[in-house]
Amino acid sequence: MTATSITPELLRRFDVPGPRYTSYPTADRFVEAFTPHHYEQALAQRREGPAALSLPLSLYVHIPFCESLCYYCACNKIITRHHDRAQSYLRYLGREMDLHNAILGTDRVVTQLHLGGGSPTFLSDVELAQLMAMLRRGFAIAPGAECSIEVDPRTVDGARLQAIADLGFNRISFGVQDFDPDVQKAVHRIQPAGQVFALMEQARAIGFDSINIDLIYGLPRQSPESFARTLAQVSQLRPDRIALYGYAHLPERFKSQRRIAQAELPAPGAKVTMLSQALASFEGDGYVYVGMDHFARPDDALAVAKRQGRLHRNFQGYSTQPDCDLIGLGVSAIGRVGATYSQNAKTLAEYCDHLDQGRLPVARGLALSRDDLARRAVIMALMCQGEVVFESIEVAWLLHFRKYFGAELEQLDKLCAEGLVTVDETAIQVTAKGWFFVRAIAMLFDRYLQADRNRTKFSRIL
């Protein structure tokens, strides 16, 4: 089964709203009854655990600032040209780190660090250096740790890329979205292709371990013809990884999207055609389909992890790092510690107010039940390994798989008939064809989603 074997008709049938499963339960299930006190308890339990020092941490830092508004964006961001706001934000990040360090200590090993936003490159080189110094004081960032940063091509040049590398970042991601000037104008993100090509060449010369580009299909004024030209340029760029996202137009939830004219959005049929074009183009260029919108060159660490069954998934998407606790820092950042999820306050004022009062800025979260944990294990096994071995779930959660998930197995019959999965007495196996629709398979094991008919709050799965 190859990408070109996935027909437009098949894509249409399975293009339904659904979660991305960067967590289970998904973030829309978090509750305000989960307080900073509950999060502190989770941190304390981690500190006192028998293997606490040997278990690595992952860090995510949210930098919310952007100089200009991209109309499609659904991220938590603050649009400003006042760069002096960054210094105040860094001070609050420092307070948040201090509160963590007071509970965890400063010797916790970190093997993965990701800076997202917003635009992390809104910070100056001096401010990025200041942030990295704070992180290294508060945590033991391991030699060879995976350190990645999201880069707005409009905010950097070769010298800035070198400064980023000198700070220890070894993976970068360029937000490209589309090269067509008319599409860029429609979404208020003008960045000439030549600028991205030059940055890619400079990044390769510097020697980053992996360079990713983000693309979006389904944007206003896009057409199969215009997107084919963008794909041809991506083929010339030859990034190590590609993240291809379908645009989710949800103007009722994201105010910035109200500036997009509904009439300028491509028809559903054209959007499916663009996805088919992308799958064929990337396959032709030798990329491995990692899963869930992610593609990588065969020698990239992500593709290697896919082949070796070592894929993991966290709030940043697929990862080569072992499943580990995640500390989220900054406004709206999400973390996972033990059997809990937590999310910081979504507005800067509320975030700062928590810290001014000397408490962690957690606004909501969730303590996972035994059922949540068992289902998370099943969903992540599907999403990452494409296989659920019944015995492994039964031993870990002391349940009889076929009895516990009887209703779900019945629903799988339809997907078996489609050739997306196979089920025998011992395991569920996602087929090569089914890997392109793994979200639809995972959704069957989501207890909350199956009981909730209001699924339009999610993006479509393709």
Query: 401-448, pLDDT tens digit by residue?
Result: 999 999 999 999 999 998 999 999 999 999 988 988 898 999 999 999
Pick the CATH number of 27-326 from 3.40.920.10, 2.40.50.100, 3.40.50.1100, 3.80.30.20: 3.80.30.20
Report phi then psi at 123, rounded to 5: -70, 145
Structure tokens at 335: 């973390």
The rounded distance, in Å, linking the Cα atoms of 368 and 362 is 16
Is position 407 annotated in a ligand binding site? no
**Cis, peptide link before residue 25, omega less than 30° from 0:** yes
> CB-based contacts of 79: which residues, under 8 Å, 6+ apart?
65, 66, 67, 68, 69
Does pLDDT of 4 surpass 70?
A: no
Is 205 marked as a binding-site residue? no
| More confident: 172 or 13 | 172
State whether residue 154 is helix, strand or coil. Answer: helix
* Contacts by residues 161-169 (CB-CB < 8 Å, ≥ 24 positions apart): 161/199, 161/202, 161/203, 161/206, 162/206, 163/125, 163/128, 163/129, 164/121, 164/128, 165/206, 165/207, 165/208, 167/128, 167/129, 167/132, 168/132, 168/141, 169/208
**Secondary structure percentages of the chain, helix, strand, coil, to 5:** 45, 20, 35
Question: Tokens at residue 292, please?
Answer: 């869930």
Contacts of 355 (CB under 8 A, 6+ apart): 92, 95, 96, 99, 361
Residue 79 identity (one-letter amino acid): I
**352 annotated ligand binder:** no
Question: Token digits for 401?
Answer: 């798989």
Q: What is the pLDDT of residues 389-405, one digit of tens each?
A: 999 999 999 999 999 99
Kindly state the percentage of the chain with pLDDT values over 70: 95
Average pLDDT rounded to a whole number, residues 189-193: 95
> Which residues neighbour 136 within 8 Å (Cβ) at sequence distance 6 or greater?
none
**Is 74 a known ligand-binding residue?**
yes
Q: What phi, psi does 250 have (nearest 5°)?
A: -130, 65
Structure tokens at 114: 């990701």
pLDDT at 41: 96
pLDDT grade, residue 1 (50/70/90)? very low
For 52-96, the pLDDT digits (tens) are 667 899 999 999 999 999 999 988 999 999 999 999 999 999 999
Per the annotation, does 189 bind a ligand?
A: yes
Average pLDDT of the residues of the chain? 92
- 66 annotated ligand-binding residue: yes
CA distance 267 to 264: 9
DSSP class per residue in 269-325: HHHHHHHHHHHHHHHHTT-EEEETTEEE-TTSHHHHHHHHT--EEETTEEESSPS-E
SS3 25: coil
In one-letter notation, the amino acid at residue 220 is: P
Percent of the chain with pLDDT over 90: 77
Q: Which DSSP helix (H) or strand (E) runs through 381? A: helix 370-384
Q: List, for residues 275-284, the tens digit of each pLDDT value.
A: 889 999 999 9
- 334 annotated as a binding-site residue: yes
**pLDDT tens-digit series, residues 210-222:** 999 999 999 999 9
416 is in an annotated binding site: no
324 carries a ligand binding annotation:
no
Largest CA distance in the chain: 62
Most confident region among 260-274, 320-334, 339-353 by mean pLDDT: 339-353
Q: Is 150 annotated as a binding residue?
A: yes
Cα gap 313→385, rounded to integer Å: 10
Strands 325-329 and 57-63: parallel
214 is annotated as contributing to ligand binding: yes
pLDDT at 312 over 90: no
Is the pLDDT score of 5 beyond 80?
A: no
pTM for this predicted structure: 0.92
From the list 248, 259, 243, the residue with the least C-alpha distance to 294 is: 243
Alpha helices in 105-214 (DSSP H): 125-138, 158-166, 181-186, 193-206
Rounded to 5 degrees, what are φ and ψ at 51? -110, 20
Domain-wise residue ranges, the chain: 1-25+370-462, 27-326
The answer to whether 286 touches 103, Cβ cutoff 8 Å, is no
246 is in an annotated binding site: no
Could you tell me the pLDDT band of residue 453, with boundaries at 50, 70 and 90?
low
Protein fold of 1-25+370-462: Arc Repressor Mutant, subunit A (1.10.10)
304-318, 390-404, 443-457: which is most confident: 390-404
Distance in Å from the first CA to the final CA of the chain: 18
For the CA atoms of the chain, what is the radius of gyration?
22
248 is in an annotated binding site: yes
